[in-house]
């Protein structure tokens, strides 16, 4: 029991501090990547190659004056950044980030808390972050802030359903919501991105909307709402909203890597899952996990500096008229395919099973792309032209 408590405390300290440091470096990475895409230099003055820019930004936010609108609800105004910040950190607790680490006192699982409810915990906790945004908008007593908070709540409701539906497909295939078991199931055959390609695409689009990133950043649209829900915030309170956003990006990227890309599994080898645990295996699988998570973080940044912002009616139409019926129909099709392969053909999950489901997904993806490309389904408010 003592060893468990000490190892858990060390994991909590290391993981959460690394996330905070990683979020600071992620802001620098985003600025450098967007500068590279726009043929600029980006931050390059503070420290070698601008590496100390996050530290300079943090110091600036600590030293800036705190402001409080005269008619704001003082208590909720102060609590709102904390309510957004805390769930963003807690969601990473159940994601396995490496193979178990052997120590002289026993094997240490490389996950802060290997809960049996797995990604259901992540969906539940991550949904709480929107309360902070809504309260920030309402407590500021600013009409622009209130509109941003209302947009965030409507956006979360619209896309949380599709996000949850896409993970049901993972549950059907894995038979377990514990993330370590989801990884183990993918190691027996192919990664779930092959078997559940359309679910992955739905999950990725919904995750972009859940984290309020472009092209779904309507709660803070500068051209319409000045800065949206955090218009009245300054100094560290303002910073905490951004830390929460980037922490949610890290969690969403890690979750995509875990649910659909094998988590810490190293591709094209079974070395990491066979034989005795070793420090080398832990380090190698940690590197694989970080590489996959880093790829999705880069994709987040890439999309932000490539795609324009949706109109609000387009955002709602995409969620309710496209993703929701698509996820429901997809669940029906994939559940039927899994039942047929399991019950009628007697197959268990492995490479042939994954390839068969991959063929079904390929047909569905082609059909969906063709369907979306035919008309103006996402435009929503644009009337069809008369023939």
Interval 242-278: pLDDT, tens: 888 888 899 899 999 999 998 888 888 888 877 778 8
Distance, in Å, from the CA atom of 207 to the CA atom of 164, rounded to the nearest integer, reads 10
Distance, in Å, from the CA atom of 360 to the CA atom of 348, rounded to the nearest integer, reads 17
Average confidence score pLDDT of the chain: 85
Distance, in Å, from the CA atom of 195 to the CA atom of 256, rounded to the nearest integer, reads 14
Q: What is the pLDDT of residue 223?
A: 66
Q: What is the pLDDT of residue 200?
A: 94
| Spans of the chain, pLDDT less than 70 | 1, 222-223, 373-387
Q: How far is CA 130 from the centre of its chain?
A: 14
Q: What is the pLDDT of residue 116?
A: 84
What would you report as the CA-atom Rg of the chain, rounded to the nearest whole angstrom? Answer: 22
284 contacts 192 by C-beta, under 8 angstroms: no
Query: 3-state DSSP call for residue 107?
Result: strand
Distance, in Å, from the CA atom of 353 to the CA atom of 356, rounded to the nearest integer, reads 5
Q: Is 50 left (phi over 0), alpha (psi -120 to 50) or beta?
A: left
Q: How far is CA 141 from the centre of its chain?
A: 30
DSSP 376: -
Q: What is the pLDDT of residue 385?
A: 52
Q: What is the pLDDT of residue 381?
A: 46
Q: Which is nearest to 89 in space by CA: 219, 203, 240, 207?
A: 240
């Amino acid at each position: 029991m003592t060893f468990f408590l000490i190892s858990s405390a060390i994991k909590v300290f290391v993981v959460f501090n690394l996330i905070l440091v990683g979020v600071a470096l992620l802001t620098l990475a985003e600025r450098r990547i967007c500068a590279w895409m726009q043929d600029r230099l980006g931050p390059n003055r503070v420290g070698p190659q601008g590496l100390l820019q996050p530290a300079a930004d943090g110091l600036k936010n600590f030293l800036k004056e705190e402001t409080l609108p005269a008619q704001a609800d003082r208590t909720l105004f102060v609590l709102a950044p904390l309510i957004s910040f805390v769930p963003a950190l807690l969601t990473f607790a159940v994601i396995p980030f490496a193979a178990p680490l052997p120590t002289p006192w026993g094997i240490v699982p490389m996950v802060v808390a290997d809960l049996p409810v797995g990604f259901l915990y992540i969906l539940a906790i991550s949904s709480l972050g929107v309360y902070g945004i809504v309260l920030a908008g309402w407590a500021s007593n600013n009409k622009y802030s209130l509109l941003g908070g209302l947009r965030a709540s409507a956006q979360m409701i619209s896309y949380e359903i599709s996000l949850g539906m896409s993970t049901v497909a993972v549950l059907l295939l894995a038979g377990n919501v514990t993330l370590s078991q989801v990884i183990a199931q993918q190691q027996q055959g192919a990664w779930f991105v092959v078997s559940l390609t359309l679910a992955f695409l739905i999950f990725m689009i919904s995750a972009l909307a859940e984290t309020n990133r472009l092209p779904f950043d309507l709660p803070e649209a500068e051209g319409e709402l000045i800065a949206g829900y955090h218009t009245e915030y300054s100094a560290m309170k303002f910073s905490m909203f951004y830390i929460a956003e980037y922490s949610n990006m890290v969690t969403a990227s890690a979750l995509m890597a875990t649910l659909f890309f094998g988590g810490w599994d190293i591709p094209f080898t079974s070395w990491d899952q066979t034989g005795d645990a070793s420090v080398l295996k832990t380090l190698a699988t940690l590197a694989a996990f970080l590489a996959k998570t880093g790829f999705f973080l880069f994709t987040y940044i890439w999309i932000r500096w490539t795609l324009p912002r949706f109109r609000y009616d387009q955002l709602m139409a995409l969620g309710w008229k496209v993703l929701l019926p698509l996820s429901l129909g997809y669940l029906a099709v994939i559940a039927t395919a899994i039942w047929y392969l399991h019950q009628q053909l007697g197959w268990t999950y492995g490479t042939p099973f994954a390839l068969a489901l991959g063929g079904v997904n390929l047909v569905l993806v082609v059909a969906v792309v063709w369907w979306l490309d035919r008309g103006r389904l996402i435009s929503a408010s644009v009337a069809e032209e008369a023939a």
